[in-house]
Amino acid sequence: MRLAVTCIFALGCSATHVAAVDDGDAGPRVRATPEAGADDGGDAGSGFCAKRSPRATFCDDFEAATLGAAWDLVQQSPPGLAARDLAAFVSPPASLTVTTKRLGPGDLGSIFLRKTVTGTASRAVLGFDVYADDPQPEGTLAIATLDLSLDHLLTLYLLDDDPVSRARR
Amino acid sequence: MPPAGTWTRIEVEVDAAAGLATVRVGGVIALRTGIAKAPAIDPTIRVGALVTGPASPYTLRFDDVTLDLFP
């Protein structure tokens, strides 16, 4: 079983295709204001964020002892749990682990960190490392969103693309 | 994609000027699609799990979250 990525746009979605392009990322960054909380504990330390060049507009490597210190909101609507994981990470000393609990049909679970960066931009790049087990064959699981504005939204879903388990639905 | 049980870098790039959205998984383009040309205004990101049931317990991990904005 593998995972899949799907994008859903509220506006302007057109035909999907795959093409090879340059992965370059050159150009000046918009610097977040201090009020936006761009400089979390990870930036101030010696981890991924501190070493990244050029520095990101916003970055969190979960080096800070307090989960969500750089974020506007840590949402843990029951059932679920968000915590720092000191045992598994890409860059030490920690990652973010999110655990959901069993949900019934139609139930919602929201365990996420949210950040808004004040300002305008013509291009935005959201990046993260993710470690996910096989997704579930039922329900839906969104792992990240990038909202450019109130009506221009992008959501990444993990999907079970195993035809056997999907056929059981 | 991304493969289960391993750390994988995912990048979501939205180029409002060009009207393109691109998703890269492990540095490889997994999706590229046209979008409406509208600049980002106070962009908001979320990482975690937004789940709709029915669903069994599930755990996933994130690290090194970045947001780069370009004027």
pLDDT tens, A88-103? 999 999 999 999 988 9
**Whole-number pLDDT of residue A162:** 60
A140: closest chain B residue by CA: B52
Cβ count within 10 A of residue A2? 14
Beta-carbon contacts of residue A115 (< 8 Å; ≥ 6 apart): A36, A37, A58, A70, A71, A72, B44, B45, B46, B67
pLDDT single digits (tens) B8-61: 999 999 998 898 999 999 999 988 988 888 888 899 999 999 999 998 898 999
- The interface predicted TM-score (ipTM) is 0.95
* Residue A117 to residue B54, Cβ atoms within 8 A: no
Contact (CB, 8 A) for B31 and B23: yes
Residue type, B25: V
The nearest CA of chain B is from the CA of A11 a distance in Å of 6
pTM listed for this prediction: 0.82
Confidence (pLDDT) at A149: 77
Structure confidence at residue A135 as a pLDDT band (50, 70, 90):
confident
Contact pairs from chain A to chain B, CB under 8 Å: 374
A12 burial (CB, 10 Å; 0-12 / 13-18 / 19+) is middle
Range in A48-57, A84-93, A129-138, B43-52 with the lowest mean pLDDT: A129-138
Residue from B59, B49, B62 nearest A62 by CA: B62
pLDDT of residue A29: 56
Q: How confident is the model at residue A39 (pLDDT cuts 50, 70, 90)?
A: very low
Residue owning tokens 């959201």:
A126
